[in-house]
Amino acid sequence: MERKIEIAAHCTGWGETFLELKSVLNQQIGDIVLGIEHVGSTSVKGLAAKPILDIDIIIESYHVFLEVTARLKELGYFHEGDKGIEEREAFGRRDNEVPWKKDKRSWMEHHLYVCSKDSKELTRHLAFRNYLREHPGTADEYAQLKRRLAKTAASREAYTFGKTAFIERVLETAFDELA
């Protein structure tokens, strides 16, 4: 049986947890990556979300990907492939204490991805996040949709599919504004 989808009110601790994770990741890979971005709903102030952080690590190109993967492995992450989304490599966690560091702690659930700076998926993540940050009314619409889907969707896949048209509409508007 699938877990119920939980949509929580925005928590300022999400941003703080991201900054802590970013610090640990920067210590491990900061010298070979371009940046580490908090994306997804937890990165938008005031937006209700599943309490799971989405983090994109940005690399110059895939010539450093094997080194990034090796260093992330030392922290307890493992490469899961692209999971069907081109230009975005997903990483899982060996346990709740990943990323491992000297002071053991249980970290908030998070999804970790590595994308090149030219990745279409990175561009989409940043455009969607930035648009919602700049348009609180649209962020509110998105929260309402997510809450409705969390109650009615028969599966996580149905929940995700139910958000697709909204996300694509927002991205089209965001890219039009950038043009």
Residue-level pLDDT at 37? 98
Neighbouring CB atoms inside 10 A of 43's CB total: 23
Q: Which residue has the tokens 């962020």?
A: 139
Give the chain's radius of gyration (CA, Å): 16
pLDDT of residue 144: 97
Give residue for tokens 């958000």: 163
Contact present, 58 and 35 (Cβ < 8 Å): yes
pLDDT given at position 104: 78
What sign does the CA torsion over 100, 105, 111, 115 have? Answer: negative
Question: How far apart (Å, rounded) are the C-alpha atoms in residues 83 and 86?
Answer: 8
- Within 10 angstroms of residue 126's Cβ, the number of other Cβ atoms is 17
Residue 1 has pLDDT above 60, yes or no: no
How high is the pLDDT of residue 50? 95
Dihedral (CA of 120, 125, 126, 127) sign = positive
Q: How far apart, in whole angstroms, are the C-alpha atoms of residue 13 and residue 24? A: 17
| In the chain, alpha helices (H) | 12-29, 65-74, 120-134, 136-152, 156-178
pLDDT at 4 over 90: no
pLDDT digit string (tens) for 121-158?
Answer: 999 999 999 999 999 999 999 999 999 999 999 899 99
* pLDDT tens-digit map of 76-126: 999 999 999 999 999 999 999 999 987 778 999 999 999 999 999 999 999
Q: What band does 2 get if pLDDT is binned at 50, 70 and 90?
A: low
Residue-level pLDDT at 148: 96
At the top level of CATH, the class of 12-178 is alpha beta
Chain mean pLDDT for the chain: 95
Quick check: 3 pLDDT over 80? no
Residue 62: strand, helix, or coil: helix
